[in-house]
Amino acid sequence: MSYFKDIYKGIKTLLTGMSITGKYFLNARKGALTQEYPDNRDTLKMFDRFRGEVIMPHDENNEHRCTGCQKCEIACPNGSIEIIWDRQIDPETGKKKKMIDQHIYHLGMCTMCSLCIQACPTDAIKWGQNFENSVYDRSYLTKVLNKSGSKVKAGVED
């Protein structure tokens, strides 16, 4: 008898599977998962979790939150980040202070591990959603994250 039970069970599970794919088939026209990429370039939005490249957001006054503490440089396992800094005189207090000159990021070496972003104490760097990262020369992949003329936002260091 268990022989017939096996057959019954087998057919039942096969039909369950077929009903699931059948449902997909009927809904395919409405909810196709395909992104026709170059055609929908203007409207395509990457999901929030996506790790495209490390960016440093600047606000409208061209100020960022990076203090030049170099924690991200130390955290990076493969040396993709280099901070070039020097001591400058703070115009407000008149004291000498560590400031970043350039935050250099080598996209070509980055493994998108996110350790630098977790290490940053002031949340100065973030994940960008740009995915069109191919270039014709490797040297284009070395980026300076802080914009020229930008300075650290007041109050971030406290």
Partner 1 sequence: MIKTIHDWLFSVMPEWAASLTEMVLIAVFYLTLFAVIGLYLVLLERKVAAWFQMRKGPNRVGPWGLFQTMADALKLVTKELTGTTKADKFLYNLAPYFVIVTALVAMSVIPFTQSVQAFDINIGVFFLLAVSSIGVIGILLGGWSSNNKYSLIGAMRSGVQTISYELSVGLSLLTMVLLTGTLQLSEIIANQQEHGWLILQGHIPAIIAFMIFMIAGTAETNRAPFDLVEAESELGAGFHTEYSGMKFAYFFLAEFINMFIIASIAVTIFFGGWLSPFGITEGIIWLQPIWFTVKVVGIIFLMMWFRWTFPRLRIDQLLKLEWKYLLPLNLMNIVIMAIVIWLGWTI
Residue whose token pair is 């350039």: 102
124 binds, among ligand SF4, partner 1, none (CB under 5 to 8 A by kind): ligand SF4
75's contact among partner 1, ligand SF4, none, with CB below 5 to 8 A by partner kind, is: ligand SF4
Alpha-carbon gap, residue 26 to 105, rounded angstroms: 48
DSSP H or E stretch at residue 20: helix 2-27
| Residue 69: C-alpha distances to residues 77, 100, 115 (Å) | 17, 9, 15
Which of partner 1, ligand SF4, none has residue 7 at its interface (CB below 5 to 8 Å by kind)?
partner 1
Q: Which stretch binds ligand SF4 (CB under 6 A): 4-12, 19-27, 104-112, 133-141?
A: 104-112
Looking at 71, 97, 143, 151, which residue binds ligand SF4 (CB under 6 A)? 71
Binding-site partner at residue 152 among partner 1, ligand SF4, none, CB < 5 to 8 Å by type: none
Determine contact, residues 46/129, Cβ cutoff 8 Å: yes
Write the DSSP assignment of 38-92 as a string of letters.
GGGTTT----TT---EEE----TTSEE------HHHHH-TT--EEEEEEEEE-TT
22 versus 57: smaller Cβ distance to partner 1: 22
* 116/153 with CB nearer ligand SF4: 116
Looking only at residues 11 through 70 of this chain, which bind partner 1 when binding is defined by CB under 8 A? 14, 17-18, 20-22, 24-25, 27-29, 31-34, 36
CB 81 within 8 A of CB 42: no
The reply to whether 144 sits near ligand SF4 by the rule CB under 6 A is no
Q: What residues make contact with partner 1 under the rule CB under 8 A?
A: 7, 14, 17-18, 20-22, 24-25, 27-29, 31-34, 36
